[in-house]
Amino acid sequence: MLVYLFALLALAKSVSPGTFFVPLNCYSDERVFDCSTQNLEFAPPIPPQVESAALNDNQIRSIDPILPPALQDLDLSNNALNHLELNSGSLFSLKVSGNPLLTLKLNLSGLVVLNASSCSISFLPPGFFELLPRLEVLDLSGNEKLRAIPPNHLQQLFIQKTYIRSLPSMPNLVSLDVSNNFQLLNLQTGETLKKLKAANCSLLGVILNRGLLYADLSSNQISTLKIHEDLEYLDASNNSLNTLDIANARLHTANLADNKLTDLRVSSRYLNKIDLSRNPIIELSVHCSQCSVDCSFCQVRKVDMTNVKSLNLQYNNIQKIVVEGVKEVDLRYNLLTEIALTADAFDLRHNSLADPKKVDIQGIGYLADNPWTCQCEGLKELRVRSKDQQLLCGGQTFESCFSGPRKTSHSAWVTLLVAIVLLVVFMLVLYFIRLTSKEPTSVPPQDPAECEEVYRNDALPTYEEALRMSKPEWRQGRNSARRCRPD
């Protein structure tokens, strides 16, 4: 590396005054100097005329603290800086994220934006904000050892995934992100705050200010919440809310999924989308102007709503419902036996719809997986409104039901005959199995003395006994023929 430095010095002396040496594989013009991703260990000199310098994604360990007067944007992220000291009156934006920084000494009177995320910062030195009088945006996220922030005049602060337990006075703060701070139990927002992100903390309570427009409070332990009329976006999903009054709010989007709400009445002309899924809601009342409602995986039995654009009520306990003026409705996996529905598109699969006379629907959708009674007179109209390719009625497709003159009562005799045949086959198979599994007949035991006597009587004579036995006499006959004459 020393050879590299000496080469830089030699080249710098060899060039004429007014010119500036640019390292190999770096880019430079009148405004931009880019030496990113060059595996550099030392920061090369920055040309004095450039306004933006990119030295990110190297192995730089140190840099000249005196910056060129024209420089406004400096990127030192993802290097090997342990200590950083910089002096400039013109620098506007500084990025030092991804460095193992232990200390910061910045005298940057014109700095507005500072990104020091994912470093090893555990504290901010005294007078830190006094040396940065114009700082408005500060990102300290990912500094897991950081425990406190001094009072300041910031407008935007990002301190997610740190160890901060409380917040100081910040009278000018407009946007705050404290997500993933598990030590944060309570939070009170300032009067100027417009946007708040506090997801995945341990918040038990939160006091929201008037004028707040955006609030993400998901994945906390909040049981009660008061919101003001100015709020437009609310995500309070995965909490412990038992009740919530949003009647006077100007909410455009509300996510209240995974709570403990049992009864909720919504009436708003501003609402565009509301998610109430996975709540033990029994009665649902929603009145809005062309909004989308998700109340799936609840316990809804009674529904009252008007001017709903999209309605998701799958996996509930609804037996009877009247829905009008809805563009899309999903009522899968309910207990529906009767329905009056006017919608552009619907899904009524996996219900208990059987009698076509109790189904009054307008629109096109899905009707399969219901125990329809195959009465062609009532099913013809439903068939026209069904998008199912194989819609069944009485075990047959709709097409089979309408195809011939045979009566539906014949299907009972066919079913009975098939059952009898199957029973006979089953009995024959069972008989065959039992027949082949019988054990062979065993021979009864015999007396050993009796067996020995039988063997002795049936045995052939020995050689000695055969010699002592009488033998036949042979006599010479005519023509030299030998004849046998017994004794």
Look at residue 301 in the predicted model and tell me its pLDDT. 92
| Residue 465 CB contacts under 8 Å (≥ 6 apart), including other chains | none
Look at residue 394 in the predicted model and tell me its pLDDT. 52
Look at residue 15 in the predicted model and tell me its pLDDT. 42
184-317: what fold? Answer: 3.80.10
Look at residue 154 in the predicted model and tell me its pLDDT. 97
How many CB atoms sit inside 10 A of residue 379's CB? 22
Does this chain's domain 20-173 share its CATH topology with 184-317? Answer: yes
20-173: what fold? Answer: 3.80.10
Residue type, 429: V
Look at residue 387 in the predicted model and tell me its pLDDT. 76
Look at residue 282 in the predicted model and tell me its pLDDT. 92
Q: What is the DSSP letter of 357?
A: G
The answer to whether residues 187 and 200 touch, using CB atoms and an 8 Å cutoff, is: no
3-state class (DSSP) for residue 54? strand
Kindly list the domain boundaries of the chain, sorted by start residue.
Answer: 20-173, 184-317
Tell me the C-alpha distance between 257 and 285, whole Å: 16
Look at residue 433 in the predicted model and tell me its pLDDT. 85
Which pairing describes strands 273-275 and 253-255: parallel, antiparallel, or unpaired? Answer: parallel
| Residue 138 CB contacts under 8 Å (≥ 6 apart), including other chains | 114, 116, 152, 154, 156, 157, 158
Residue 454: Cβ-neighbour burial (10 angstroms; 0-12, 13-18, 19+): exposed
Q: Would you give per-residue pLDDT tens digits along the chain (487 residues)?
A: 444 444 444 444 444 444 566 777 899 998 999 999 999 999 999 999 999 999 999 999 999 999 999 999 999 999 999 999 999 999 999 999 999 998 899 999 999 999 999 999 999 999 999 999 999 999 999 999 999 999 999 999 999 999 999 999 999 999 999 999 999 999 989 999 999 999 999 999 899 999 999 999 999 999 999 999 999 999 999 999 999 988 888 999 999 999 999 988 888 889 999 999 999 999 999 888 889 999 999 999 999 888 899 999 999 999 999 988 889 999 999 999 999 999 999 999 999 999 888 999 988 999 988 988 876 666 677 777 777 755 655 555 554 444 444 344 455 677 888 999 999 998 998 888 888 776 555 556 666 676 666 666 666 666 677 677 766 665 555 454 454 455 4
User: Taking the model in full, what pTM does it have?
Assistant: 0.75
3-state class (DSSP) for residue 387? coil
Residues 248-303 have pLDDT tens digits of 889 999 999 999 999 888 888 899 999 999 999 999 998 888 899 999 999 999 99
